[in-house]
Amino acid sequence: MSRMRATAIASLIIIILLTHHVLRAASVTYDLTIDQRQVNFTGKSVQSMTINGGIPGPTLRFKEGDIARIHVHNNMNVTTSIHWHGVLVPPGMDGVPYLSFPPIESGTAFTYEFPLRQSGTYWYHSHTGMQQQSGVYGAIVIEPLQNGPKPDHDYVVVLSDWTDENPHEVSRTLKRGSEWYALKKGSAQSIFGAAHLGMLGDYFARELQRMPAMDIADVAYDRFLANGRPEMILPAEPDETVRLRIIDGSSTTYFHLEFAGGPMTVISADGQDVEPIKETRLLVGAAETYDVLVQIPSAGMYEFRATAHDGSGYASVWIGSGERNPAPDLPGPNLYHTMGHHGLGQILSLTPAGTMGMPDGDVEAGKFDQPGMMSMNGMEGMHNGTDHSKMEMGGMDHSTHSMPVLPQVSRIDKEYGACVGLLEADVCASKSLAVDGMDPSRPWTPYARLRSVSHTAFSKDKPIREIRLTLDGDMERYVWFLNNKRLSESDSIRIREGEVVRFIMINRTMMHHPMHLHGHFFRVINDQGDHAPLKHTVDVAPMSTTVIEFDANEFGDWFFHCHLLYHMEAGMAGVVHYEGFTLSPQLAAIRSQLYKDLWYFWGQADILSSMTRGLLTLSNTRNILTAEWEAGWHNVDDTSVEIVFTWDRYINRFFSVFAGADVLSERNESGITRGILGLRYLLPLNLESRAWFDTDGGARFNLGRSFELTPRFGLFGEVEYDTHDRWEGVAGLSYTINKIFSLVGQWHSDYGFGGGLQIRF
């Protein structure tokens, strides 16, 4: 009886304490109205989306322990949503349409309500389609319960990228394999460009390896913004300390950050406090946040500059008053360095079954010639002299997972030149030049030096689940995958409540991917042992492996995806599903819409004096419907037309199979229609080959390629052998005028010389 009485008293005390806390918690309410209106960042007025009339939306300020109540009103003619990036919320409040809740319909409102269990710098954005790119984003600041020393000023800086183009048109342009954005921002590669740098051998080494032309950003942006402006001023007096809460709210842009007045002191990453470190130049990935302190020198105004990773532009924040002191220019990347240095020449000498030149097999399975810990991120922090031979993983049971901490090079590093084993700092630094075309003045993320102020390791008694995830992609078709699959219902990432989940992410592409896990913080495994930093978004560098781990203590379904908006929309995403979690009937009825695979249409036509040729394409991720035509004339009375209809099934960037029909018509003769079955395969030198058999017992083989002599001036050729019609060939030159038009001059074996216009649409 006494034990029961004691239990009842203890329960009563807990109820009283909880009730007291709830009564003390303040309810902070905001109203956010999302609307469509004209904006002008470039001198051109375009339709966009705003929150409470502005881009970005208002900064939402709270205190740790508050109850956030946010009414989101949709005044647009399309659905919308808001996701609270990095904020721990119940699954139903996470704001991912069809995964967390039904989208907010046009003309309606939705109230988000959740307790704030944390403090720090976070942000919010739409998770519907491309709305983030159109302006639906803003900052969140949550003050801690216990305030420490305060700086003289505390400012929020939301960085973003802006294009006057409709984001869906941007996506379509990327899907059709256009090089226009690289040309527009000056990063297109060419034979003469390589020769000018003395790197012609590198250029053709890359071509022989079937690698596409490299770039470190996909889109050519019209502006880069800080708090919605290309340039802004923040007041401060000499010798004052300023806290900058930096939020990379861009759709696809990594920024290098630098302050003209001296080094920055990083005190927080993704809202979580870290032991202070000084950085002269800092790379922030899309969707990450960093809090930094800067000291204003004795006189003048000093620039805090955020330069786009690809060097295509920057946004400026001027702090102080008086004479302006600009930050130094960031050296541009030499993208030709990615073509064959330091072992990269071996990448495609292997038989590739994966994408972006990376084979499947042992890499995808995470197998190594020797056991060894994979680095948490290929090369970041190597410029700081980090000794990775001392790397630890807090809470890991090495006896059960066979991952001893040894200073050795894994098979991944040996074969692919990626800095993925435990390597000496100078070796990793040299390889970083090869992998990303960088030099020590272009540092990567500072993860190796980030050390949490608190103990973050998990209990060794917790079960551990390891999940290996490959990050895959094809820049030519612009499709992006996890484990070589797009987001799909059948490929959810299943975990169990109460275990430690470890993601081993192997990036098999030449691009950075900022991977974001909803609803959780994870440990980024570096050499800080039990004090590994907690983050919600982590950069997985090109050709490298990143390891994160988290406590599976937020029961529900959660989104996990690349935070480059166009990569996510193209399929690099998955659903983390807790076993035993059951959807509500309302969500179950609409969940299939989360996995919708969009179709895109584009075309191209050459209109020449001697002939016309072109194609129309309708494509989703793995299915490609194409109609190609070629029509020419020797004279008015002698014309011929051929139309080829195909349905391709995309396997990977090297290989696809197809079936269709070949329709031929000669003037004054009856037409011929044949069924065809064949394949396409990418050969060394990026030669595009096509072979088919037809229902008349014949066959055809095509081989074609275009070479960029300069970024705008190209040489192209094609040879074809058909058992019915024998040989046919074409060779010519083209000059790109703009995104839509090119000038073309060519010789065709059947139709002779001709010139005209190429139109892309």
**Number of neighbouring beta carbons within 10 Å of residue 429:** 21
Higher pLDDT, 437 or 757: 757
Q: For the chain, which domains are there?
A: 25-148 (2.60.40.420), 223-325 (2.60.40.420), 600-760 (2.40.160.40)
The stretch 577-591 carries a mean pLDDT of 96
- Summarised one tens digit per residue, pLDDT across range 358-375 is 333 333 333 322 222 333
Mean pLDDT score across all residues of the chain:
85
> Distance (Å, rounded) from C-alpha 133 to C-alpha 251?
6
> At a CB cut-off of 8 Å and minimum separation 6, what does 147 contact?
none
pLDDT score of 16 more than 50:
no
Long-range residue pairs from 661-665, CB within 8 A, at least 24 positions apart, any chain: 662/694, 664/640, 665/640, 665/641
Residues facing residue 469 across a β-bridge: 505
From the CA atom positions of the chain, what is the Rg in Å?
28
- Summarised one tens digit per residue, pLDDT across range 285-332 is 999 999 999 999 988 999 999 999 999 999 999 999 999 999 999 998
- Summarised one tens digit per residue, pLDDT across range 390-400 is 333 333 332 22
29-43, 68-82, 168-182: least confident range: 168-182
Higher pLDDT, 496 or 636: 496
pLDDT score of 479 more than 50:
yes
- Inter-residue contact 747 to 609 (CB < 8 Å): no
Compute the 3-state secondary structure of the chain and give helix, strand, coil in percent, each to the nearest 5. 15, 40, 40
> Distance (Å, rounded) from C-alpha 356 to C-alpha 354?
7
> At a CB cut-off of 8 Å and minimum separation 6, what does 160 contact?
55, 56, 137, 224, 225, 228, 249, 250, 251, 253
Q: What is the pLDDT of residue 589?
A: 96
pLDDT score of 666 more than 70:
yes
Token pair belonging to 428? 């990793």
The stretch 459-475 carries a mean pLDDT of 95
> Distance (Å, rounded) from C-alpha 264 to C-alpha 287?
20
Token pair belonging to 453? 């102020």
> At a CB cut-off of 8 Å and minimum separation 6, what does 334 contact?
197, 437, 439
Give the angle 216-222-224 at the CA atoms, nearest 5°: 75
Token pair belonging to 384? 């700081």
Q: What is the pLDDT of residue 315?
A: 98
- Inter-residue contact 38 to 20 (CB < 8 Å): no
pLDDT score of 684 more than 50:
yes
pLDDT score of 339 more than 60:
no
> At a CB cut-off of 8 Å and minimum separation 6, what does 523 contact?
394, 456, 457, 532, 533, 534, 548, 549, 550
Token pair belonging to 724? 């019915």
- Summarised one tens digit per residue, pLDDT across range 22-31 is 445 799 999 9
- Write the DSSP assignment of 71-90 as a string of letters: EEEE-SSS-B--EEET----
Token pair belonging to 298? 């004795």
